[in-house]
Structure 1
Amino acid sequence: MVGGVPVTTVQRTFLDLAHLLGPDELVVIGDQLVCQHTRNYGPPRVAMVELDALNAYIAGHPGARGLCRLREAMNLVRVGADSPPETRLRLIIARSPLPTFVTNGELLDAAGNPLVSPDLVCQQYRTCVEYDGDHHFTPEQQGKDHDRDFMTKSLGWNQVLINKEDMLAGGRVAITKIARMLVQGGWPDPENLAGRSLRGLLGTRKDAL
């Protein structure tokens, strides 16, 4: 009961949406349902439904409409994405020739203490990606982000900041930016993604390469 109104469970509602939405939309919702993390900095986040429990519920309804589409989506659901844009960025990266990134991997100091938890992390090439949505432009959040950026650089990581404009046109700008930082981390870039021109694609910076 919510406000005196009987409603279906989170799991059931997700199942009911399977035949109405596309796979990517279902991945976005699935990521939000299972997202959880506990760190020694920042507030914890508790999953609405844990990933194993959600998969078990879906498996227990073999006759549901849209089940094949939902199973396809669940293969792409990951724990740790805090927002829908983060999920969409993760999917763009996963479908590109870029190396693998994981959600909310932690950056450690020399003593092994976690100091920063970027949205997406490629440990092999010490490159991380942050999606900066609208809430990142408040004065309070900007102060936190400046500290985050300073610690990330101090730990020797290459950081890529992505915004909603970078995600347009299939994420070409986002992929190119990420590729350039990966190359700085030693990635061989076999398809020369870092070498693609960004001229005219970075907002008002028409002369950007």
Structure 2
Amino acid sequence: MHFIDGPFRAREALDDGLLTFRELRRFHRADFPGVWTVRGSDLPTDHRAGAAWLWSGRRAVVAGLAASALHGAKWIEPDIPIELIHTNRRPPPGIVVRTETLVAEEIQSIGSLPVTTPARTVFDLGRRLPLRDGVQRIDALVNATDVKISDVETVIARHPGVRGLRQLRATLALVDGGAESPYESLTRLVLVQAGFPPPQTQIHVFDADGWAFARIDLGWPEYLVGVDFDGAHHWTDPGQRSGDVVRYARLSELGWIDVRLTSGILHNGTQWFLDRVGAALESRGCPKTW
């Protein structure tokens, strides 16, 4: 009994004698035309991207969110369509093809796969995604790769007049790779769009002995006003809850006003949250811009 674990081109496996036709049909399934994998397996994004690349005849370049995931960006759904830059405009379900111009400097290899560079991936995501989604997705990619906006500007200069540049520039103006979750990105975006000064991300707070005992998600250290997003673990992990009590007490002792919020507040109590942040900043002498 023979089977092949990862994605493979069926014709090649049969021609090379790696499988019989019976073994191919019995132990494997077709994911894309001509590309198979072992039955019962849930392919991670990198294997699905490899399968899509094999479907292209090894001629495409992986792009978009699939490329972002391959670069290590978090918070990307495992079942996203695999985006390819390729010439075949009739992809099967599960693959999206873009027929666009790439230069050699915008392609790198991750394992055996040709993938758009982080800068080119930002260039593509920022042009195509709505503002909010684009900021969140690019924040995650910048956080994972430390790609610079100047790197993206170099890509822009190679493709003058391409569609979506206005959208891309509006998105880049709001990007901050310090965000460590989509909700942190969304929180910052809500604040900036409401007129607040752009907050700093990942603020380390030191005690009298110089020990960094806390890190605030975002805020304005010059006014000692911070914002922390409380994810589910802040409520379900007893150790985390106990640590939070001590942390917030010490922040208060050092003069910080730390506004905490949850996903429910962010979605359903946005104005209440903005009012609290505004009152805190005003009390510390921040000129009102919101």
Query: Which deviates more from structure 2 when the two are superposed, residues 178-187 or residues 157-166?
Result: 178-187
Match of 2:135 in 1: 27
**Is the aligned partner of 1:94 residue 2:192?**
yes
- Paired position in structure 2 for 1:108: 206
Indicate whether 1:142 and 2:241 are aligned.
Answer: yes
Checking the alignment, whether the CA contact within 8 Å between 1:18 and 1:65 is kept in structure 2 is no
1:165 and 2:264 aligned = yes
Which has the higher relative contact order, 1 or 2, with Cα contacts under 8 A spaced 6 or more apart? 1
Does the 8 A contact of 2:206 with 2:212 survive in 1? Answer: yes
One-letter code of the match for 2:137? I
Helix, strand or coil for the counterpart of 1:77?
coil
Shift in CA distance, 115/19, structure 1 to aligned 2, threshold 3 Å = same
Larger strand percent? 2
Distance (whole Å) between structure 2 residues aligned to residue 150 and residue 60 of structure 1: 52
- Conserved 8 A contact 2:126-2:167: yes
Residue 197 of structure 2 contacts residue 289 of structure 2 at CA under 8 Å; is this kept in 1?
no
Structure 1 length-normalised TM: 0.71
Q: Distance in 2 between matches of 1:147 and 1:55?
A: 44
Q: Does the CA-based 8 Å contact 1:30-1:77 persist in structure 2?
A: yes
| Counterparts of 1:67 and 1:171, CA distance in 2 | 30
Question: Please, what is the CA RMSD of the aligned residues?
Answer: 2.8
Q: Is the 8 A contact 1:128 1:157 kept in 2?
A: yes
The amino acid of 1:98's aligned partner reads F
2:97 maps to what in 1?
none
Q: CA deviation at 1:27?
A: 1.0
Moved more, 108-117 or 181-190: 181-190
Q: Which moved more, 1:69-78 or 1:167-176?
A: 167-176
Letter in 2 for 1:102: Q
Unaligned runs of 5+ in 2: 1-44, 54-61, 69-117
Q: Is the 8 A contact 2:257 2:280 kept in 1?
A: yes
Q: Are 1:51 and 2:159 matched, yes or no? A: no
Whether the 8 Å contact between 1:166 and 1:172 is mirrored in structure 2 is no
1:116–1:74 distance in 2 versus 1, CA, 3 Å: same
Q: Which amino acid aligns with 2:172?
A: M
Residue 170 of structure 1: how far off its partner (Å): 7.9
Between structure 1 and structure 2, the one with the greater Rg is: 2
Aligned partners of 1:167 and 1:174 also within 8 Å: yes
Does the alignment pair 1:182 with 2:281?
yes
What TM-score do you get using the length of structure 2 for normalisation?
Answer: 0.53
Aligned-pair identity (%)? 31
Ranges in structure 1 where 5+ consecutive residues have no aligned partner: 36-46, 192-209
